[in-house]
Structure 1
C-alpha cells in the first residue's frame, strides 16, 4: 500500500523533469531561431562614396535624415557650388557644416587641439588631413580621424538637429571653432555672431548671402548645447569667428546643433522636440531605422551583390538633396514678397504641421524620375512636396519650379512643376482643393506666369519667350528681346511648353474644363512647328519664322538646353506617334533612333564623366545622353512605337554602362540633380517607366527589362488598397533581356503596359525572359 504513492511520486517527478527538459529545449530552439533570423539591413548596401570625385555642394550626404533640414557632413572643398562639399580626392577637412542644400550653406564647425605653436593663428590655420582608411560612412552617420589633432569626429543627426561626438586625446587643451564668417559652397556666410547663454549653451545667427540663383539673403539661426561646461568663448576680430575652450574631455564631448531659418527660439524648439536626450548611439540607430524603413519599401532578390549595392545606393540618392526649411512647429521663411516674413504652415488638430515646407532644385526632368518613383513607392512624399509648392503659390502668387531659401530661383525653364503636381492628382494623392491647384498651375502657363521667365530671370519676364510661343506657336532662337536670364534656347523651350501644356490639359479634362482642355491640347501640338521635314530633326527657327542657317543637329546648346538637336528631337513624350508620323512612320522613326543608340554606345551613352564634360568637342555631339535629363526617356520610346524588344535591349545596355558601377570616380556623371538620376536608375532596374510622367487618367506604366529575379514594392496603405506589388522574372540573366510573356495576377496580357490601378491594388506581375 505504501509503495503505490512512491511509484506515483516517481512518475510525477519524471513527468516534471521531462516537461522541464522539453520546455528548455523549446526555449533553446526559440533562441536558436532568433539567432538565425536575418533582418535585412539596406543601409549597409549603400555605397555612400559613389561619384564623390565629381560631387557638388548638395550632392554628398552622410549624417543626414531623408530630406533633413540638417545635412551634416565634412567639407574638403568650400569654394563654389560646383566642385565643393565632400570631394573624395581632397585629403583635407576644412570643417563640418550643417547645411548642404540647393543654393544654401551654413554653420561650419571644427574641433581642434590648441598648443603654444598654433594659438596665434588657429583661426586661419585649422585644417586637418584625414585618411579614408580611418573613415566610416553610412546613411545617417559619418566618422573620421583628424590626423593633425588625433581627434575622432563622429556625426549624426535628426531632421533639424546636428549631433556631434568628439573623442579628444587625453591631457590636451581642446576647443571647437565656429567658422560663422566664411565662404561656404554656393555663398558666403557673413554677420555671424555667437553668444554664450548658459554654462554649456550657445546661441547665434549668420546670414547666407544671395547668389546668382537665390537673389535674397537668408538668415540662419542656431542653438548649441554641449554635455560639458564651456570654459571660455573667444572671438577673433580679424575673421569674426569664434572658439570655445573645453577642459573636461576625459569622455567624448557631445554637441547638439539645432538649426532654424526663422529664430533662435525655433532652433531651440527643434532640439527640444527632436533630441531631448544625449544618447548618441540611439540617434545613429534611429537614423538607420528611418533609412532602412524607406529603402526597404522596395525589396530586390537576384542579380549580383554589386547590382544590389548599386540599386540601394541609387534609391538612397532618390530620397535626398531636397531639404526641409520649416521648423517642428510649422514656422518657415517666406522670401517671396518684397519683405521677409515668417510664415506658418497649417496645423492638424494636435497642433502639428500638416506638411513640411521645402527647398528644392528644379523639377526639370522629374516627369521621368521622381514623378514615378515617389508617386508609386513614396506617395506621402509626393503629396507633401505638392502641398509645399502650393504654399509658395499662396505666399508669392506662383508655383515655383525650384525654390531656395523660401523664394523663387527660376532655375532652369518652363513649368516643370506642372507634370509633378498633375501626376500627384491623377494618382489620387491630392483629393482636396484640386480646382485651386489647377488654377495655380494654369497661371504659370499664361502671361504673368513662370513660363515667361528664363533660368534665373528675377527682374524681367522676357527670357522664356512665352509671347512668341502664344503668337507664333514656337519660341524663336535667338530671342530678339535681349539677354534675360539663362537657357534662352527657343527650340527646347517650345518642346517643354508643349509637353507641359498637354499635362495641364489632362487635368483640365479631369475637372470637366473642356474649353481649357482643348486650348492646352492645341498648344501641345506646337512642337510640330519646329519639325523640319527635310532634315528630320527639330530645327530652331528665328523670330521671322525661318529656319536658323547652318543648323547642325549635333551642336550642343545651339537652340537647345543642355542638349543638342539629336537628343532633344525626341522630347515629345505626349505625342510620339505624331512625331513618328512626321518622320515618315513608326518604322523609320525606330530606325533613326536605333542608329542614334548605336552611335551613343560608342561613347558609353553619356557626355563624359561629369556635367562639365558635356562641353567636350566629342562628347557634346553624342546622339543620346544618359548623363543629363533631356534624353533620358529615349530607350522607352521604342516601346511606344511598337518595338518593346529594342526598349529591353537598350535599357539593359544603359544600366550596364551607366548605372552599374560602384566607384568614387563616377556614377552619375556629375549631374545627379537631387535624386533625378538615382530615381531613373531605380525605375530602369525594376522595369517600370512612365513616358508621360503619370499625367494621364489612370496613368500608364511601360514594362521594361528588370535586372532582378524578384522585386517587391511595399505599398503605402494610407494611399493605396494593395499590400504589395511583386514583379517576378523567370530565366532572367544578363543575356535573357527580352520579355516574351507577361502575366498579371495569373492572367496573360498582350501588351507591355499596365496601369496605376493594376499596381496599387496589389498583385503579381510575372515576366518570362529569354534571349
Structure 2
C-alpha cells in the first residue's frame, strides 16, 4: 500500500535495539515558546500535557476565561487546569472546562481562587505536568488520549476543595455524591454546530463530604444542590482536610455514556497515578524514537525534540471507540454521528508546507485515514476543510487540501478516491463558500479570467494568486498521476499564474489592480496589503513548484543567487 521510505527504514535498522533505552522525553520542554506577549507576536504556545495527536490535551491556565493567551510565562498565578484544544492564541479554544484545587476558604471566582506560583517549582513534560503552588497545593497531570489522570495534594489540616469551572458558554453539571463523581457537558467555541456538546465524567478516588453548584457569571453558590444548567455553570466539592485526591476524567462529543466508556477504556487499567504517568512516558518515548538525532550537543537535542513534540499534537483525533472496538465520531461539520475516523484542529495555511508531508512520512496509516476523512468532511458540509477548529472556519488563504491529496498519492498513500478528490477541489476552485476566504476561492473569477487576483479588490491578493497557482499545480499532478485528463488539462492552465504578479521592473511579486496596473508607492519591506503576514521579500520565493521558472524571471542563476 505504501512505498518504502528507505531513509527511515535505514535509520530504524541502524539504530535498532541500541537506542531502545535512550530517554528522549527528557529533552522535551513543554514550556518552550510560552514566553511571549501580544506586542511581539500573535502566536504563543502553552505547556501542553497530552499524548500524540490526542483528542484532548490539558494545560495550566494563567489567562482569564475565554482569553486565547491561556498561559503566559510572565504571569505569576494559576486560575485553573483545563481541558484544551487550542492550536493558536488568536483562534481561541473550544470544549473547555477546568478544575482548580482550593485550600482553606472556598473561593469560586477565577481571580480569588488563583494562587501565586514559581517556575522553579514547575515541571512541563509531554507525559507529566507538575506545579507546587505557593499555598502548598501540588498539582500533577498525566494524559490519555481522551482524558487525564490528575492528582491534587492538599496541605495538611487545610479544608480541601476542587472547583469545576464551566468556562464561557452553556454548561450543565450533575454531582453524584454517592459515587464520588461529577458528570456534565460544556458548549463553548466558535466553529461548532448548534447541537455541539462536550460531555465529561470526573471520577474522584476520595469521598465527597460537601458539594454545591455555582455560576461563574455572578459567582453565586448553591450548597447541597446536585444539578445545574446555564451559562458558566460549574460545581464544587469538598473532601477531608489535607487529603490527596486522584481524579480520572474523560470526555466525549457523543454522550456521557461514551465519555464513561472512554474513561474505562483508557484509564480503567491504571490503579495509580504513577501507572498512568509511566504509560504516557513510554508512548512518548517510543514516538520520539521515530527520529533519532546524533551528536553531543544537548541543547540542540532539547530544541529539536521540543519542536518534534509540538509537531506531534496536530492534526487532532476527533473520533472515539465504541463498546465493540469500532471508531465512530460526532461530526463538527453536520452535527451527526458517523462510523469511521475523523480528524480536526488544523489550518492548512501553513501546515501544508511541512507538517502534513512530515505526517505522511512518519505516520502513513494515520495520514491515510486523515486524507480519507477530508472527503467525509466534504460530504458532510459541502466543502473540503481548510481551517477546521473543530468545524470549518475557512480562515487564511489557499485551497491546500489538494496539496495533501497529491502529496499522499505521490508517497503511495492510496486511501481515497482521487477522482472524487479532484471533483471536490474543482468545486473549491470555482466557487466561494459561506465562510472565510479559504472556504472556496476568494477572487476565483478574476483568477480564472485575468490570471491573477486583483488588489485592492481582494485583500492579500498577491499571496492568494501565488498559492492558488501552487494548488492548481497539485491538482494537475494528482490528475496526471491518476489518469484524470479532464482535470489535468483544466488545472494546467492556471498553475503558472504566478508569472502574472511578477514585476520585472522591481524583481518582486506585486499587487496589481483589475486594470493591470501595479500598486503605487511600492516598498518591498512593507508588511501586509497584497501579502499574507509577510512582505514582497518573502513572497518573491513563493513558487514552490517551478523554481527554474522563477530563476528565469529573476534573470538567471547569478541574479537569483544574489537576491537569495
TM > 0.5? yes
Instruction: Give, in whole Å, the separation in 2 of the partners of 1:37 and 1:444.
Output: 46
User: Are 2:372 and 2:415, in contact at CA under 8 Å, matched by a contact in 1?
Assistant: no
Residue 246 in structure 1 maps to residue 239 in structure 2: yes
Larger radius of gyration: 1
- Tell me which residue corresponds to 1:259: 251
- Tell me which residue corresponds to 1:345: 339
- Tell me which residue corresponds to 1:408: 392
Residue 54 in structure 1 maps to residue 36 in structure 2: yes
Instruction: Give, in whole Å, the separation in 2 of the partners of 1:222 and 1:495.
Output: 44
Instruction: Give, in whole Å, the separation in 2 of the partners of 1:202 and 1:368.
Output: 43
1:430–1:196 distance in 2 versus 1, CA, 3 Å: same
Instruction: Give, in whole Å, the separation in 2 of the partners of 1:319 and 1:367.
Output: 15
SS at match of 2:176: strand
Instruction: Give, in whole Å, the separation in 2 of the partners of 1:320 and 1:309.
Output: 17
Instruction: Give, in whole Å, the separation in 1 of the partners of 2:110 and 2:305.
Output: 40
Instruction: Give, in whole Å, the separation in 2 of the partners of 1:235 and 1:431.
Output: 48
Residue 590 in structure 1 maps to residue 561 in structure 2: yes
Deviation at 1:272, TM superposition (A): 1.3
- Tell me which residue corresponds to 1:385: 370
Deviation at 1:366, TM superposition (A): 2.7
- Tell me which residue corresponds to 1:92: 77
Q: Once the two structures are superposed, what CA deviation does each residue of 1:599-658 show, in whole Å capped at 9, x if it has no partner?
A: xxxxxxxxxxxxxxxxxxxxxxxxxxxxxxxxxxxxxxxxxxxxxxxxxxxxxxxxxxxx
SS at match of 1:194: strand
1:560–1:553 distance in 2 versus 1, CA, 3 Å: same
Residue 137 in structure 1 maps to residue 137 in structure 2: no
Deviation at 1:224, TM superposition (A): 1.1
SS at match of 2:83: strand
Deviation at 1:258, TM superposition (A): 1.0
Alignment of 1:658-669 (within 5 A): none
- Tell me which residue corresponds to 1:454: 437
Q: Once the two structures are superposed, what CA deviation does each residue of 1:670-689 show, in whole Å capped at 9, x if it has no partner?
A: xxxxxxxxxxxxxxxxxxxx
Task: Please give the TM-score of this superposition, normalised by the length of structure 2.
Answer: 0.86
Match of 2:174 among 194, 197, 201: 194
1:120–1:161 distance in 2 versus 1, CA, 3 Å: closer
User: Are 2:347 and 2:387, in contact at CA under 8 Å, matched by a contact in 1?
Assistant: yes
Q: Once the two structures are superposed, what CA deviation does each residue of 1:398-446 show, in whole Å capped at 9, x if it has no partner?
A: 11112113x2110211112211221111111224533333322332222
1:520–1:122 distance in 2 versus 1, CA, 3 Å: closer
Residue 477 in structure 1 maps to residue 455 in structure 2: yes
- Tell me which residue corresponds to 1:547: 518
- Tell me which residue corresponds to 1:435: 419
1:172–1:99 distance in 2 versus 1, CA, 3 Å: same
Instruction: Give, in whole Å, the separation in 1 of the partners of 2:345 and 2:421.
Output: 19
- Tell me which residue corresponds to 1:581: 552
Instruction: Give, in whole Å, the separation in 1 of the partners of 2:542 and 2:380.
Output: 33
Residue 317 in structure 1 maps to residue 310 in structure 2: yes
Match of 1:522 among 468, 493, 506: 493
Residue 572 in structure 1 maps to residue 543 in structure 2: yes
Alignment of 1:111-122 (within 5 A): 111-115=101-105, 119=106
Alignment of 1:165-180 (within 5 A): 165-180=151-166
SS at match of 2:320: coil
Instruction: Give, in whole Å, the separation in 2 of the partners of 1:190 and 1:580.
Output: 56
Instruction: Give, in whole Å, the separation in 2 of the partners of 1:79 and 1:377.
Output: 36
- Tell me which residue corresponds to 2:25: 43
User: Are 1:362 and 1:401, in contact at CA under 8 Å, matched by a contact in 2?
Assistant: yes
Q: Which runs of 5+ in 1 are unaligned?
A: 1-35, 183-187, 347-354, 481-487, 594-771
Deviation at 1:216, TM superposition (A): 6.1
Match of 2:186 among 195, 203, 206: 206
Alignment of 1:594-613 (within 5 A): none
- Tell me which residue corresponds to 1:334: 331
User: Are 1:101 and 1:359, in contact at CA under 8 Å, matched by a contact in 2?
Assistant: no
Deviation at 1:308, TM superposition (A): 1.5
Deviation at 1:49, TM superposition (A): 1.8
Q: Which runs of 5+ in 2 are unaligned?
A: 1-17, 220-232
